[in-house]
Amino acid sequence: MLLEDVLKEVLKEYIYDIKSKNYSEKANRGFKNNNLASFQYIATELEFSELEGAKSTHIKSYFMYLKGIGRKATYTNGILKSVRSLFVYCVKEGYILERIILLSKETDCTFLCRYRYTSK
């Protein structure tokens, strides 16, 4: 599977999980759209071919990008909550071995090989 396909599959499972927690439809759309936008940035701008290379600095670079294009702090904080929630889900489900967003120091993020994927 390509990286984008893996990310979309994880997001699909995550959205199913938050729907089961009875969030509003607007909140569900926000979680989905915010995470899709972050995935698109990670996959295109950072040119990842494998998830194992993700670090907290890559996530931070996305938020620096948002700040650079003039997004307000309240907007980026909403996106941060969505992305953080997804990463907590990924740790809980075993996709990620370390919580890169919640840690204060930079750590590597290792995804388990639940899916096979290849670079483009």
Q: What is the pLDDT of residues 1-46, one digit of tens each?
A: 566 777 788 889 999 999 999 889 999 999 999 998 988 887 777 7
Stretch among 27-31, 55-59, 84-88, 96-100 having the lowest mean pLDDT: 96-100
Please state, in angstroms and rounded to a whole number, the distance separating the CA atoms of residues 112 and 65. 28
Contact 117, 6 (CB under 8 A): yes
H helix or E strand, kind and range, residue 6: helix 3-20
Sequence-separated (6 or more) residues with CB below 8 Å from residue 88: 99, 102
Tokens of residue 86, six digits: 């997804």
Tokens of residue 22, six digits: 């009875």
Residue 74 dihedral angles phi and psi, to the nearest 5°: -65, -35
pLDDT of the residue at 16:
93
pLDDT of the residue at 31:
92
| pLDDT of 68 higher than 90 | yes
Average pLDDT over residues 41-67: 75
